Amino acid sequence: MFDGFDTGVVQRDGCDVFYRCKGQGPAVLLLHGFPQTHAMWANIAAKLAQDYTVVCADLRGYGASAKPKEVAQYSFREMGADQFHLMAKLGFESFHLMGHDRGGRTAHRMALDAPERIDSLTVMDIVPTHLLLDDLSKEVARVYYHWFFLAQPAPFPENLILSDPDGFFQNSLTGWGSSDLSHYEPEQLQAYRASWRNSDCVRAMCNDYRAAIDYDFVLDAEDLGRKLSIPSLVMWGSDGAMAKAYDMATVWSDLLSNFSIAMVRGGHFFPDTAPDETYQALKKFLLDVVSRQS
């Protein structure tokens, strides 16, 4: 997994950010989601690195990155600032940005905060954070119950999760679409388990969801009405909860003015369960964007 990739750590305000990097050409930053680590990109990153400089990073609170203690330190703005700092340290003032789940929400916030640094934006299997929380349907509330469970005051959710972390998080991997654990690469599952068995990581993931309600909702409300013109790709899993609850082909139309769409076979975790199909969609999008920008 990640053969030939360089590894490193950069620090921002005392917060370590772990990353892997390989390739040449335009820079592409890949951000993972909950409850995973950068390992989710292993198969896709190796192929993209044939044509691009690919960077895979652990979001703060996840994997090998730092896990600060305060809820405010987990806003998507703070997570995004880590990634901007990382890419600048690697010599990339602008780059293509792709994120799944929490990584997609971080990517959207980064594009809002510094659109001039984003060459293209890809968000995977998410609807806008403000929309999800402000117009919550009973169907979404039922399947995405973890948003509200994890956001409960500490240490209530942490204690319950740590009684059986594998049981809780593996239920997430198999519960949001048509997949079971056999559809995940063993090495990637091993990396996820190593992360979520860490009590500091569990606390951090809870703080991530607490911050979404306490901080990100307010930040996104301030940006309602803004429409990004960055070339963008909206992707989703055909069997996922978001596809069942929303019109994914149009749900981003109030926030993005220049976007295309791609539906991939599988549920929420389609980058894990259908990496080749995901890669082909990303490759096609990047080729189109780079050709238009050159």
Q: How far apart are CA 102 and CA 32, in angstroms?
A: 7
Terminal Cα distance for the chain, rounded: 32
Contact 230, 111 (CB under 8 A): yes
Measured CA to CA in angstroms, residue 32 lies from 53, 97, 237, 250 at distances of 17, 11, 15, 23
Q: Is 109 buried (19+), middle (13-18) or exposed (0-12) by CB count in 10 A?
A: buried
Based on the residue annotation, tell me whether 101 is a catalytic residue of this protein: yes
- 3-state SS class at 240: coil
Residue tagged active-site, from 58, 101, 125, 220: 101
Amino acid at 110: M
Q: Which residues pair with 236 in a beta bridge?
A: 263
Residue tagged active-site, from 119, 239, 268, 272: 268
Vertex 268 angle, CA 108 and 6, to 5°: 65
Return the active site residues.
Answer: 101, 268
